[in-house]
Amino acid sequence: MQTSITPLDLVIIGAGPTGLAIAIEAEKAGLSYLVLEKGVLVNSIFRFPANMTFFSTSLNLEIGGVPFISHVDKPTRKEALEYYRRILESWKLKVKTYEPVLGMDRRSDGIYEVKTTKENYFTRNVAIATGFYDIPRLMNVPGEDLPKVKHFYDEAHPYVGQKVLVVGAANSACDVALETFMKGAEVTMCIREDGIYENVKYWIRPNIENRIKEGSIKAFFNSQVKEIQLHEVVLTTPDGEVTLENDFVLAMTGYQPDFVFLEKLGIEFNEDEQRTPVMNVETFESNLPGVFLAGVIQAGLNTSKLFIENTRHHGKVIVREVLSSSVGPKGVNSLTVR
C-alpha cells in the first residue's frame, strides 16, 4: 500500500519568540509550515522568574506588527506571556505544543522526516530555534545534585528565613540575591570575578553593590564553590577555604544550547571556544541543506551575544531562502511513503 504525502515547506522547531517570528514570516509568504514545541508556548519565558523584568523595552520585543503593551517601559514576564499568546491568536499560527522532536532523517529525494513523540512530519526545510534556557551550565562540584541546589529560580517565598548562597554575578544572580534578601533570606554571594558583572542592568547594579558594601549581602569575590554538603557549603577564596552554614544554593551560572539535541539532528560545530555551529552567516543555512539555524543558538556558548530584539529578522532571512530554493513553496512535489 502506498500513501502520498505532500511535504510541508517548513518545519520550525521551537515556539519561542524567534520560532514565532519565523512562523509569522512563513504565514505572510503563504508557506505550508508547522511549529513544534516540546513544552508550552514560549517555554523559556514561562520558566523565567515570576517577577522578572526584561532588559529590553516592549517596542524592541515586538514582532509581526502586533503592539506589545506594557504598563512600564520594561515589560514583565507576565506581560510577555500575554503578548505571545496574542501573537498566536492574532496570526493564527500553526503551533503544536507538548510535542518534543526526537530526531530527523533526510530522504534520498532531499525531503526531511521530522520525528516527534506523537507522529512524523515531512518537510523540505527545517528551521531550528530551540534557544538556550533549558540546559544550565553546571559547576561540576560534589553535591551539586542535592535537592537544595537550584539552577532555575522562580520566586523568593521558599527562601524566607533560609541561609542562601547565590552563585554568579550577572543579571540573574543579582536579581535573585536582591529579591531573596528583600523577602527575608540571609544571602551570601559567591563570585568568580573581582566584582559584579559590568553589564548588569543599570537599575540593579547600584542596588546590589550598595547591599554588599553595607554588609546586608555578604559577597566572596575571586571565589568558587568547592563542595556542597547537606547543611553546609565549602568555598575556595583568596583567603583559603571557607565553610558556611547553608540551606539552599541558587546557582545562577548561566545556560547553554542543547548541543546533544542539535548534534542528534546532524548539526555540526566549529572547533572554537564558543562551539558556534557551522552556518552560512548570510543565509543561516547549517551544514545540512535546507536546515536553518535561528536565534541565540547561532552564537553557541556566547549566549549574551544574541537576544530577542536582535534576532527578530531571522525569520525574514530564512523564509526568503525557502522561497528562493529550487523546489519552491506550497508543496509542488509529493512524497511517496511505502
How much is the pLDDT for 328? 42
What is the chain's pLDDT, residue by residue, as a tens digit (338 residues)?
224 479 999 999 999 999 999 999 999 999 999 999 999 999 999 999 888 888 788 888 999 999 998 988 889 999 999 999 999 999 999 999 999 999 999 999 999 999 999 999 999 999 999 999 889 999 999 999 999 999 999 999 999 999 999 999 999 999 999 999 999 999 999 999 999 998 888 888 999 999 999 999 999 999 999 999 999 999 999 999 999 999 999 999 999 999 999 999 999 999 999 999 999 999 999 999 999 999 999 999 988 888 888 899 999 999 999 999 854 444 433 333 32
Q: Does residue 20 share a domain with residue 63?
A: yes
Place of cell 503592539: 67
CATH of the domain at 192: 3.50.50.60
Q: Does residue 120 share a domain with residue 259?
A: yes
Q: Does residue 103 share a domain with residue 12?
A: yes
Give 63-81 pLDDT, tens digit per residue.
Answer: 999 999 898 888 999 999 9
Q: Does residue 142 share a domain with residue 131?
A: no
Q: Does residue 226 share a domain with residue 103?
A: no
Phi, psi of 32 (to 5 degrees): -85, 125
Give 253-280 pLDDT, tens digit per residue.
Answer: 999 999 999 999 999 999 999 999 999 9
How much is the pLDDT for 71? 85
The answer for residues whose C-beta is within 8 angstroms of residue 179's C-beta and 6 or more apart is: 49, 51, 155, 156
Q: Does residue 131 share a domain with residue 7?
A: yes
Structural domain count, the chain: 2
Contacts of 306-309 spanning 24+ positions with Cβ under 8 A: 307/55, 307/56, 308/17, 308/18, 308/56, 308/60, 308/61, 309/56, 309/60, 309/61
Residue span of the structural domain in which 236 resides: 138-251
- Distance from C-alpha of 8 to C-alpha of 236, rounded to nearest angstrom: 55
pTM of the model: 0.88
Q: Does residue 281 share a domain with residue 237?
A: no
Helical packing angle, 17-29 and 77-91, nearest 10°: 20
How much is the pLDDT for 337? 32
In the structure grid, which three cell numbers stand for residue 38, read together?
A: 516540546
Q: Does residue 125 share a domain with residue 7?
A: yes
Phi, psi of 227 (to 5 degrees): -160, 145
Q: Does residue 76 share a domain with residue 24?
A: yes
How much is the pLDDT for 50? 87
Identify the domain boundary among 216, 251, 286. Answer: 251
Q: Does residue 224 share a domain with residue 296?
A: no
Q: Does residue 228 share a domain with residue 122?
A: no
Vertex 115: Cα angle to 114 and 118 (nearest 5): 130
- Distance from C-alpha of 224 to C-alpha of 193, rounded to nearest angstrom: 9
How much is the pLDDT for 331? 41
Q: Does residue 124 share a domain with residue 12?
A: yes
Identify the domain boundary among 188, 217, 251. Answer: 251
How much is the pLDDT for 85? 98
| Contact yes or no for 125/315 (Cβ under 8 A) | no
Identify the domain boundary among 196, 220, 251. Answer: 251
